[in-house]
Structure 1
């Protein structure tokens, strides 16, 4: 079965029902096979775009040894420019500078497979409104399992977990941050 979630020139960038409804059948099929979500690939090259209705990220080392957080770009309006995506990227650029380079570019499932085979795939996660940051521990592609380190608890390896915790702390007012405005309850 071939299902297309979005295409260049379409409305993959917009938060509209028609952007999600058609993917439900494919998601149900994935769940019937024991998987939680779909990794949407675009075009003949198999560009990584989104995981379900969420933004998809990989953390890997380049062949030169540089750590990168990589996610699809917004330039072709294929993926949703989510606020959680934007927050993750901003926090990574601000707080992980010097440790991890943040890269927004087209990349393929073959690059992910190659990074895994070469021991360079460090982590992977999805970000979205409903759950902020969710670690990905396995990608299954054409009969092949790509194991992704997801930490001892499965909740995330170190970088994923830090990004998730920073966002949660800002959301719940545990960290004083320009994005969070705490409104005291009236009694």
Structure 2
């Protein structure tokens, strides 16, 4: 909708460079990661799954909330915190950035195979979907389609 109209120029530039989405930063300091495209974003760094904390400028997505709940139920360490571009680049250079993905209602889980930040390129998981991204996608779509049960209260039967 109208909330994303201001993103069109950035999206155009990304497409011209061969990328399908834009990694958005905070509007004040322009150094903290907020979203990817119109989706919430997650990064697997070492044994921690990081997603930007909700600061009022980030959409509190229901898929984001579902991912956090599932990941915690599976025993992963999930942190909702500020993540700077510098920290992300450092983790990538050191090989500690294992995978990244966006989450949203339409895409469910959208793996990120490559990030370009300024002139630095980070390739993740050989450009393929990572194991955590795949597990989340399988679980969430399985719940959506009624193939597997979700946590209590996630699904409501509306007709027979």
**Normalising by the residue count of structure 1, what TM-score does the alignment of the two structures yield?**
0.79
User: What is the aligned residue count?
Assistant: 157
What's the counterpart of residue 130 of structure 1? 106
| 2:70 is aligned with 1:68 | no
Give RMSD over aligned pairs: 1.5
Which 5+ residue runs of structure 2 have no aligned equivalent? none
**What is the DSSP-based 3-state SS (H/G/I as helix, E as strand, rest coil) of the residue aligned with 2:14?**
helix
The alpha-carbon deviation at position 182 of structure 1 amounts to 4.2
| 2:117 is aligned with 1:141 | yes
| 2:135 is aligned with 1:171 | no
What's the counterpart of residue 62 of structure 2? 83
Q: Kindly report which structure 2 residues correspond to 1:19-168, keeping only aligned pairs within 5 A, or say none.
A: 19-42=3-26, 43-44=28-29, 46-61=31-46, 67-74=47-54, 76-95=55-74, 97=75, 100-149=76-125, 154=128, 156-168=129-141
Which 5+ residue runs of structure 1 have no aligned equivalent? 1-16, 62-66
The alpha-carbon deviation at position 22 of structure 1 amounts to 1.0
Could you give the per-residue CA deviations for residues 45-81 of structure 1, whole angstroms, max 9, x where no partner exists? Answer: 51010001100110011xxxxx01101111x211000
Which structure would you say has the larger Rg? 1
Higher helix fraction (1 or 2)? 2
CA distance in 2 between counterparts of 1:150 and 1:58 reads 15
CA distance in 2 between counterparts of 1:181 and 1:149 reads 36
CA distance in 1 between counterparts of 2:70 and 2:13 reads 35
